[in-house]
Structure 1
């Protein structure tokens, strides 16, 4: 089924659900009936939309978002110039502008008070979350946190797209033992 035109479900959902499912899935969904069973011996394909759905649930359900299209247009124009790599995309309107509910919990105030169990990771040249913002968050945590800064680009330090041994070993140690570095750590660039 081509992924174009007006459909009942977004393209990512149709692709994720249809993989490994017998014919008739769209009719069942459209009629709000149970999905047909998988063929014997087959494994269900992971739903490709789960990652995006959970991402949107967290960011849209945790903050208030402007509902003004004009405010997004203004922000895109400004951030296109201010942050030419990624600014316009990050400032653009998202599903959160149309989210059906208000934030569930009050905003959390980040401070140096609380348990010392925070490990932050940050690439020096992350186009989506600039290093300056990570440094500000690190300062707000005070001694509660340690930050691992990696001399590489990309959005994601641990597992997803990163092959930096220094950073990966530090994060794995933290996740498996709770041990953090005594001080913030900088990991040098490593060849891929």
Structure 2
């Protein structure tokens, strides 16, 4: 009995420690539905939904950009994914790290959504490309997953379009995030034109 209790206690502590490693401050894709097509990635000429519209011709790649805190998964290996729902099934598309983005309170032109208020901050920029063979004409939906991997497990957080459910929060950018993978109706929509 004592062994089972000790094992359970260690497992719970390990899970809580792993969960604490995912940083959502600094994470951003879009607040709501409209900003992602017009709000520019800091220091860049493109928006977070780089296609510039949420109505995308069939045959076009959908390009998403995501900001995260530098080393958002702490000691774990980190990766960013999009969970793409094409109306029939889910697809997991891995993102690629693009570069570091430096923000400086002393240079307002480098701040993002009023942050940082003091000092400097460094974020990571990620790109996710959803190829045309995955998208389907009609409504397509997606959420962003921030994932940390370690030899003894993994942990994730989801960036979402809007609040909903008991596990949702928002960070200092106003970005909604959740620890739960149950987010139906909270994800972003893209209309793929026939």
Shared fold, TM over 0.5: no
TM range (shorter): under 0.3
Higher relative contact order (CA 8 A, sep 6+): 2
Q: Which has the larger radius of gyration?
A: 1
Q: Give the TM-score normalised by the residue count of structure 1.
A: 0.20
Structure with greater proportional strand content: 2
Q: Give the TM-score normalised by the residue count of structure 2.
A: 0.20
